[in-house]
Chain A
């Protein structure tokens, strides 16, 4: 339109996201004309696969959706089923479930902070290159992740696709002695997590803030894992059962995945930033202090700072795990009986990447007649595109390679688990530029 020639920036593969995706950004001069995050695979396979299965199978089946956050899938499934069946769980089981979640957050946040996101800030192609110069940091990360694995293995029965969580409790619960064996490791992990907050706070962050609608669980007394009201900074305050009244999934042409929006408003953000901003008072004091010293004061609106918030959540997970271990008394029975009955149950829990919603409808035999699963990455997908619409425009004058890297980094702010939302997402960032700029 102004006689400027066009230019295209392409990144054929987005590395360091869980799964593979395709991102396509079109720029005309400094104006972003199009942003498309593409997901290719039909996302509803597991919902269809669950229909006709008994409710007791749902935790194991849904755990297989993602190798990185199986606990979140199990927890959303068991809570939704327990609501459908009207089951009350033992307080000791509730504690163990919080510990289970601590293990998963430690594993997942460690992987993302150190292995996937830190190389962006330090200017390395990947963590392999980073390890050459920052060996001690990577070694620490390996040990930290192993501690998360230990918790998950102990409670889940095995490290991947854990099988011990059940509707009504656990198939097997640990002894006090088994939990106490984790204490030394967790005390070490807490110190390393505090150090990680300081380390990540010293990274350089782009000057980029957005006016987000943050959505997270909120519990009056606890930083959220499994329970609480679903709240936002724009007045949302609902029970999980009302989720589908307030959030809708839209089909978009360029993706097989669905885009979630707040009805009548638009995109929203789930995950560490949302949890932190909406639940700061519920963080343990040591995590609050670490955050404030790192310059994090809610509301944090710069998505690049999510790496620091994840480190703060590592601190929380270690403190919480130690608390649970101190307070734990084994339940009288590992799980309460769950008799077959018809019903509908919804639950939301906080996967490392954000809200994970499950809804099930059961018939009188306890067989699943309907299942709906909305993963965090689907919920953040439109928000990622909205970030890029603004961010890419600011990069219009940057050299191609740097602009592309920056866009990839902006996607990684969300730790997108594309293998949850779907699989094999090739990330392709394209940019077209007009000439004469």
Chain B
């Protein structure tokens, strides 16, 4: 299983995916961190069969809500990613689908954020969601220590 946390730690709740990856590393799991830029993301999951991408999202749900999408069979809801770049996670998935570069299984964990301004303050609800998502992923990887 390949785990990729996307986001920017300098953008408040946008760092949620990166925080999940950092927590998993503390537990001894391998997890990459990326900005969420599409081409780097496609490259990062190249050759993997089972991939989990974690990113902050803004869908209008309550802050800290965790949603999981199975990307291979389903289209992601449009523009759900809060990537600071115009070409982010959702675009990476759709471009990879067109180019037959999607992993056999790709799950996207979206953590609803509230604030995306410059700064390192993460909303308490997002912090709780980060712990929950990290625990869920660790359980699946058979390495939960909590």
B-binding residues in A (CB < 8 A): 13, 15-20, 41-42, 45-46, 64-65, 67-68, 110-111, 115-116, 126-128, 131-132, 135, 138-139, 141-142, 145-146, 149, 159-160, 419, 423-424
Q: Give complex CA distance A45, B11 in Å.
A: 11
Partner of B86, one of A64, A116, A131, A423: A116
A233 to chain B, nearest CB (A): 31
Q: Give complex CA distance A423, B14 in Å.
A: 12
9 A/B residue pairs, CB under 8 Å, sorted by A: A13-B79, A46-B118, A64-B8, A67-B36, A111-B87, A115-B39, A138-B95, A139-B99, A160-B35
Q: Give complex CA distance A149, B117 in Å.
A: 27
User: Do A423 and B98 contact each other (CB < 8 Å), given the known contacts A18-B85, A142-B39?
Assistant: no
User: Do A126 and B91 contact each other (CB < 8 Å), given the known contacts A16-B86, A67-B8, A135-B99?
Assistant: yes
**B residues 30-89 with Cβ under 8 Å of A?**
33-40, 42-43, 79, 84-87
B119 at the interface (CB under 8 A from A): yes
Q: Tell me whether B84 and A423 are in contact (CB under 8 A).
A: yes
Q: Tell me whether B39 and A145 are in contact (CB under 8 A).
A: yes
Q: Tell me whether B116 and A116 are in contact (CB under 8 A).
A: no
B132 at the interface (CB under 8 A from A): no
A385 to chain B, nearest CB (A): 20
Q: Give complex CA distance A111, B42 in Å.
A: 13
Chain B residues with CB below 8 A from A65, complex form: 10
Q: Tell me whether B43 and A142 are in contact (CB under 8 A).
A: yes
Partner of A111, one of B8, B39, B43, B84: B39
B131 at the interface (CB under 8 A from A): no
Q: Give complex CA distance A192, B43 in Å.
A: 19
Q: Give complex CA distance A127, B37 in Å.
A: 14
Partner of A68, one of B33, B85, B119: B85
Q: Tell me whether A18 and B86 are in contact (CB under 8 A).
A: yes
Partner of B117, one of A13, A138, A423: A423
A425 to chain B, nearest CB (A): 10
Q: Give complex CA distance A15, B118 in Å.
A: 21
Chain B residues with CB below 8 A from A131, complex form: 95, 98-99
Q: Tell me whether B86 and A41 are in contact (CB under 8 A).
A: no
Q: Tell me whether B119 and A45 are in contact (CB under 8 A).
A: yes
Q: Tell me whether B39 and A20 are in contact (CB under 8 A).
A: no
Q: Give complex CA distance A42, B117 in Å.
A: 9
Q: Tell me whether A111 and B99 are in contact (CB under 8 A).
A: no
Partner of A19, one of B33, B86, B119: B86
Chain A residues with CB below 8 A from B39, complex form: 110-111, 115, 141-142, 145-146
Partner of A67, one of B85, B91, B118, B119: B85
Q: Give complex CA distance A17, B86 in Å.
A: 5
Q: Tell me whether A116 and B87 are in contact (CB under 8 A).
A: yes
B39 to chain A, nearest CB (A): 5
A-binding residues in B (CB < 8 A): 8-11, 33-40, 42-43, 79, 84-87, 91, 94-95, 98-99, 116-119
Q: Tell me whether B95 and A127 are in contact (CB under 8 A).
A: yes
Q: Tell me whether A160 and B86 are in contact (CB under 8 A).
A: no
A-B pairs, 7 with minimum CB distance:
A67-B35, A45-B118, A419-B84, A131-B98, A128-B94, A145-B39, A16-B86
Count of inter-chain pairs, beta carbons less than 8 A? 83
Q: Tell me whether B99 and A67 are in contact (CB under 8 A).
A: no
- With A18-B86, A67-B85, A111-B39 already in contact, 13 other A-B pairs whose C-beta atoms are closer than 8 Å: A13-B79, A15-B86, A64-B10, A67-B37, A67-B84, A111-B37, A115-B38, A115-B39, A131-B95, A142-B99, A146-B39, A159-B40, A419-B85
Chain A residues with CB below 8 A from B9, complex form: 64
Q: Tell me whether A19 and B85 are in contact (CB under 8 A).
A: yes
Q: Give complex CA distance A115, B86 in Å.
A: 10
Partner of A138, one of B8, B86, B99, B119: B99
The residue in chain B whose Cβ has the minimal distance to the Cβ of A16 is B86
Q: Tell me whether A20 and B86 are in contact (CB under 8 A).
A: yes
Q: Give complex CA distance A139, B33 in Å.
A: 23
User: Do A128 and B118 contact each other (CB < 8 Å), given the known contacts A17-B86, A115-B87, A116-B86?
Assistant: no
Q: Give complex CA distance A42, B118 in Å.
A: 9
User: Do A68 and B10 contact each other (CB < 8 Å), given the known contacts A16-B86, A18-B86, A131-B99?
Assistant: no
Partner of B116, one of A17, A18, A145, A424: A424
The residue in chain A whose Cβ has the minimal distance to the Cβ of B117 is A41
Q: Give complex CA distance A149, B33 in Å.
A: 14
Q: Tell me whether B95 and A128 are in contact (CB under 8 A).
A: yes
Q: Give complex CA distance A68, B84 in Å.
A: 10
Q: Tell me whether A16 and B87 are in contact (CB under 8 A).
A: yes
The residue in chain B whose Cβ has the minimal distance to the Cβ of A422 is B118
Q: Give complex CA distance A415, B98 in Å.
A: 25
Q: Tell me whether B87 and A41 are in contact (CB under 8 A).
A: no
Q: Give complex CA distance A139, B96 in Å.
A: 10
Chain A residues with CB below 8 A from B36, complex form: 67
Q: Give complex CA distance A135, B84 in Å.
A: 26
B120 to chain A, nearest CB (A): 10
Chain B residues with CB below 8 A from A138, complex form: 95, 99
B146 to chain A, nearest CB (A): 28
The residue in chain A whose Cβ has the minimal distance to the Cβ of B92 is A128
Q: Tell me whether B119 and A149 are in contact (CB under 8 A).
A: no
The residue in chain B whose Cβ has the minimal distance to the Cβ of A13 is B79
Q: Tell me whether A128 and B91 are in contact (CB under 8 A).
A: yes
Chain B residues with CB below 8 A from A424, complex form: 84, 116
